[in-house]
């Protein structure tokens, strides 16, 4: 995959992911307006986080990170990639069906593991009920992710990125129906989570069938290739467990402050917008590309892919982080402050958002650096690094809790993310020429930082001059629009003047991204 096609892939996935996040924001705004930061909202956030926590293992997490390199190499070498995918699909389907039943029975203990502070109040019983409704989502979304990995290896990124749009759109419609029909809002949300998983699976299955792959039923069996897959995936599963412990630490810290789980959730949704658009795009496109290049011995191509991925990620992420720190309050106020979501909720959410935003570049660089290890089927070192990161998170989250309360959860996440990136970068230094920073990246990085700093100063000046007055006068939407427009104009102008990124490069990538990749017959790559 040439660098221009690589960026085109990022843009394809990024645009659809952006659309999904925008629709997701509509959902979150409706939840905030109708439920605020009350007990039903907090119970739902814990309930939906349970299947999403486990999907990190079975979906885009450990299993997928081990599966995609193996599948990509088989696809490149024409070694019955379809048979390998079929075995993996039906084995996972059988395993996750049993896992879903166990999760249903163990739901009270799972809820306590997520939020011990719920013990003894109304949130606990409600979270158990909602969790049991939503938990089967893990089965459907994990199978969706496996099929999406197959499509990504074939160069078909658009369908994968479109599936979450269906989920968020379905949930928005369910919320509106619940409000108009008088349905129980919490139960409606839980059911819409589960049913959206079915919808996504049906969608990607149809796309796969149209691409020439047939995942016809096969009795689940542990083949030698699947054994090798699980051996490779095992450290990644453990690393995923460490990541989930980090999330559990944050939830536990927040569960002892009324409303804090909702504040952290909404802050997380906001910083997940740039993280999702850029980080998911990089992760979806880069891992199969690196796997193919390593399989073909293309060191120089791998180096170009890595450098352009890091360059693209930082070009979009650094200014987003600066903006989320400087204008966190107006962003939260405009998006969420209505109905049951109060001005105090906005202030607390904005504080959490600013702390999370400081780690945004680290979260995205993690997505860039981690494929270097998984493309080489090296899952052990990321696990060791994750253990260190977990220890850092626990120390800071609980250590800072007496000083800054629930914000300690966000601080621990941010600090541990930078520690993880440092470890990944340090560990990759022995991988040879493929991981060296090229002259173009070293030249452009400081220019990206300068451009983002100039944008931050402009945003700070606008907020200092007009921000508080705009919020008080009820013109907050216009003020936010002016700040975002002004900030973007300053950043892109500065980037063009300093040479951080040339407009012609983005235009060329967008033109290339509009071209549809050819259909891939069985056993051959799509590009």
* C-alpha–C-alpha distance, residues 122 and 468, integer Å: 37
Rounded to an integer, what distance in angstroms lies between the CA atom of residue 510 and that of residue 9?
A: 9
Model confidence at 352, pLDDT cuts 50, 70, 90, reads very high
Res 8: pLDDT: 57
- Closest C-alpha among 247, 266, 268 to residue 110: 247
Q: Looking at residue 464, what is its pLDDT?
A: 77
Residue 525 lies in a domain: no
The pLDDT value given to residue 304 = 76
pLDDT band at 282 (very low <50, low <70, confident <90, very high): low
Judge whether 499 lies within some domain.
yes
* pLDDT tens readout for residues 49-62: 888 877 766 655 55
Q: Is 260 within the bounds of a domain?
A: yes
Q: What percent of the chain has pLDDT over 70?
A: 79
pLDDT at 119 (0 to 100): 82
CA dihedral 63, 24, 38, 271 (to 10 degrees): 70
Tokens 């949130």 label which residue?
Answer: 123
Say how many domains are in the chain: 1
Tell me the per-residue pLDDT of 472-524, one tens digit each, with 9 for 90 and over: 555 677 778 878 888 889 998 999 888 887 766 655 544 544 444 434 333 33
Q: Is 257 a member of any domain?
A: yes
Nearest to 452 by CA among 354, 319, 321: 319
Res. 527 pLDDT band, cuts 50 70 90: very low
User: Who wins on pLDDT, 490 or 339?
Assistant: 490
Joined tokens for residue 377: 């089927």
Confidence of residue 294 (pLDDT cuts 50, 70, 90): low
pLDDT in tens, 24-46: 778 888 888 888 878 888 888 88
Domain that holds residue 508: 3-513
Helical residues (DSSP H) of 275-341, grouped into ranges:
281-296, 299-326, 328-336
pLDDT at 517: 41
- Report the pLDDT value the prediction gives residue 99, as an integer from 0 to 100: 93
**322 pLDDT above the threshold of 90:** yes
Q: Is the distance from CB of 242 to CB of 420 less than 8 angstroms?
A: no
406 SS3 class: coil
Mean pLDDT over 347-358 rounds to 92
Q: What is the pLDDT of residues 63-83, one digit of tens each?
A: 666 777 778 777 777 778 888
Residue 467's pLDDT is what? 63
pLDDT of residue 105: 94
pLDDT of residue 188: 93
In terms of average pLDDT, the best of 21-25, 266-270, 462-466, 478-482 is 266-270
Digit-coded pLDDT (tens) for 86-97: 888 899 899 999
Q: How confident is the model at residue 525 (pLDDT cuts 50, 70, 90)?
A: very low
In tens, the pLDDT along 116-136 reads: 778 878 889 999 999 999 999
Q: Can you tell me the mean pLDDT for 377-397?
A: 85
Reported as a pLDDT band with limits 50, 70 and 90, residue 325 is very high
**Most confidently modeled of 146-160, 226-240, 258-272?**
258-272
pLDDT at 157 exceeding the cut of 90: no
Which whole number is the average pLDDT over 159-188?
A: 85
Does any domain span residue 526? no
- What is the reported pLDDT for 515? 45
Residue whose pair of structure tokens reads 């599966």 in the numeric block = 67
Predicted pLDDT at 4: 43
Q: How many CA atoms lie within 13 A of 460 on its CB side?
A: 9
Q: Measure the N-to-C terminal CA separation of the chain; round to a whole number of Å.
A: 8
For 177, other C-beta atoms within 10 Å of its C-beta total: 12
DSSP 193-221: HHHHHHHHHHHHHHHHHHTT---------
Is residue 228 pLDDT above 90, yes or no?
no
Calculate the dihedral angle through the C-alpha atoms of 348, 351, 357, 358, rounding to the nearest 10 degrees.
Answer: -150
Does residue 524 lie within any of the structural domains?
A: no
Give pLDDT, residue 353: 93
Residue 521, pLDDT score: 36
Do 147 and 204 contact (CB within 8 A), yes or no?
Answer: yes
Instruction: Return the ∠ at Cα 246 (arms to 243 and 247), rounded to 5°.
Output: 95
Average of per-residue pLDDT values in the chain? 79
Look at the pTM and tell me if it is higher than 0.75. no
pLDDT of 377 above 90: no
Residue 9 has pLDDT above 60, yes or no: no
10 pLDDT tier (thresholds 50, 70, 90): low
At residue 251, does pLDDT exceed 90?
A: no
Instruction: Give the confidence band of 6 by pLDDT, cuts at 50, 70, 90.
Output: low
Query: Tens digits of per-residue pLDDT, 399-455?
Result: 888 888 889 988 998 999 899 999 998 888 777 666 777 888 889 899 999 999 999
At what angle are helices 260-274 and 3-35 packed, to 10 degrees? 160
Residue-level pLDDT at 212:
77
In a domain, 519, yes or no: no
- Greatest Cα pair distance in the chain: 67
Inside any domain, residue 258: yes
């Amino acid at each position: 995959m040439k660098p221009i096609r690589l960026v085109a892939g990022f843009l394809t996935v990024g645009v659809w992911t952006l659309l999904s996040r925008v629709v997701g924001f509509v959902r979150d705004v409706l939840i905030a307006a109708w439920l605020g930061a009350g007990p039903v909202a907090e119970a739902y956030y814990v309930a939906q986080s349970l299947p999403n926590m486990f999907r990190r293992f079975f979906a885009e997490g450990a299993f997928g990170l081990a599966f995609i390199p193996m599948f990509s190499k088989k696809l490149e070498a024409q070694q019955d990639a379809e048979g390998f995918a079929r075995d993996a699909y039906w084995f996972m389907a059988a395993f996750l069906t049993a896992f879903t039943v166990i999760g249903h029975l163990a739901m009270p203990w799972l809820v306590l593991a997520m939020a011990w502070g719920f013990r003894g109040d109304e949130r606990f019983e409600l979270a158990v009920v909602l969790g049991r409704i939503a938990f089967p989502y893990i089965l459907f979304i994990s199978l969706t992710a496996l099929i999406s990995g197959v499509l990504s290896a074939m160069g078909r990124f658009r369908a994968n990125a479109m599936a979450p749009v269906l989920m968020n759109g379905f949930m928005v419609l369910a919320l509106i129906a619940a409000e108009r029909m008088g349905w129980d809002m919490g139960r409606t949300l839980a059911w819409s989570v589960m049913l959206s998983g079915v919808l996504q699976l049906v969608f990607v299955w149809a796309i796969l069938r149209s691409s020439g792959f047939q995942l016809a039923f096969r009795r689940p069996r542990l083949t030698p290739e699947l054994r090798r897959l699980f051996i490779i995936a095992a450290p990644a599963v453990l690393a995923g467990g460490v990541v989930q412990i980090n999330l559990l630490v944050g939830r536990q810290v927040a569960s002892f402050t009324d409303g804090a789980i909702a504040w952290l959730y909404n802050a997380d949704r906001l910083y997940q917008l740039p993280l999702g658009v850029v980080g998911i795009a990089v992760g979806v496109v880069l891992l199969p590309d690196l796997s193919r290049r390593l399989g073909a011995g293309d060191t120089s191509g791998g180096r170009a892919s890595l450098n352009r991925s890091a360059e693209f990620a930082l070009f979009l992420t650094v200014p987003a982080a600066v903006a989320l720190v400087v204008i966190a309050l107006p962003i939260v106020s405009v998006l969420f402050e209505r109905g049951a979501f109060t001005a105090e909720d906005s202030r607390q959410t904005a504080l959490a958002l600013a702390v999370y935003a400081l780690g945004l570049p680290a979260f995205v660089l993690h997505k860039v650096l981690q494929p270097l290890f998984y493309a080489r089927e090296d899952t052990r070192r990321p696990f060791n690094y994750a253990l260190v990161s977990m220890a850092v998170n626990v120390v800071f989250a609980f250590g800072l809790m007496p000083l800054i309360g629930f914000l300690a959860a966000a601080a621990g996440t941010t600090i541990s993310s930078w520690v993880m990136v440092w470890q990944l970068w340090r560990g990759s230094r022995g991988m040879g020429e493929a991981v060296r920073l090229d002259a173009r990246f070293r030249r452009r990085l400081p220019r990206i930082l300068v451009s983002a700093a100039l944008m931050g100063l402009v945003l700070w000046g606008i907020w200092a001059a007009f921000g508080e007055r705009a919020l008080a006068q009820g013109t907050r939407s216009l003020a936010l629009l002016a700040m975002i427009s002004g900030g973007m104009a300053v950043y892109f102008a500065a980037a063009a003047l300093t040479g951080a990124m040339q407009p012609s490069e983005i235009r060329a990538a967008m033109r290339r991204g509009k071209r549809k990749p050819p259909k891939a017959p069985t056993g051959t790559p799509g590009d």
